[in-house]
Amino acid sequence: MLTRVHTGLDPVPGVWWKPAHKAEKVWVSIAFGWCIVLFAMMPLWHWKGGQNPSGVRTRVDPKAYYARTTKFAAQYKVGEDRGLPIVAPPPGAEVYLVGLTFQWYPILQLQQGKEYMLHMSSLDVNHGFAVFDPSGTFVAQAQMVPGYDTTLRLTFTKPGKYVVRCFEYCGIGHAAMVGAFRVVGA
């Protein structure tokens, strides 16, 4: 007959464990060391790597952001393409882009090799911002969330037409939501 039941709430009597084997200590040390290497790589890639800079994100009122963008467009407007203003801000300027169903406003005309602070937001629903260089190579992306201003520090290295596409399904006109940056040579 079973007289004593071990429930797991009581510790097992006696010494039942064995000290860690030398090999186990070595493997744990290697794994820990590798974790530290990967951890150090995060700031290192951010600092030395050639990828997208991590964006700055702040809260905005979507209507106020849209008003700011139209004001910016009026200030630096140099032309028009199918009803959309072509806007050429000076290098180093704060640049505004808004995604709305189903277009990107305005068309930005930027200078090659100059750095711009590109603010982006959405007026209505979530959009995805993806930009392709003149050879069609994907170069940068960001999420357009209404109520948030996502800012990327960008330098366009090739002259020509960069195409902006929406990559977040946003409604019936999603596939037609195409915009452009005109990058003029230095």
Positions that interact with ligand CUA (CB under 6 A): 99, 127, 166, 168-170, 174, 177
Residue closer to ligand CUA (CB basis): 95 or 170: 170
Closest separation between CB of residue 140 and ligand CUA, Å?
16
Closest separation between CB of residue 11 and ligand CUA, Å?
59
Residue closer to ligand CUA (CB basis): 89 or 119: 119
Q: How far apart are CA 126 and CA 99, in angstroms?
A: 9
Residue closer to ligand CUA (CB basis): 84 or 93: 84
Closest separation between CB of residue 48 and ligand CUA, Å?
34
Give the tokens for residue 112.
Answer: 């090659």
| Tokens 């407007």 -> residue | 77
Give the tokens for residue 159.
Answer: 């002259």
Closest separation between CB of residue 146 and ligand CUA, Å?
11
Residue closer to ligand CUA (CB basis): 107 or 170: 170
Instruction: Give the DSSP per-residue string, 44-105.
Output: HHHHH--SPPPPEEEE--HHHHHHHHHHHHHHHEEEEETTEEEE-PPTT-EEEEEEETTEEE
H or E segment at 122? Answer: strand 115-122
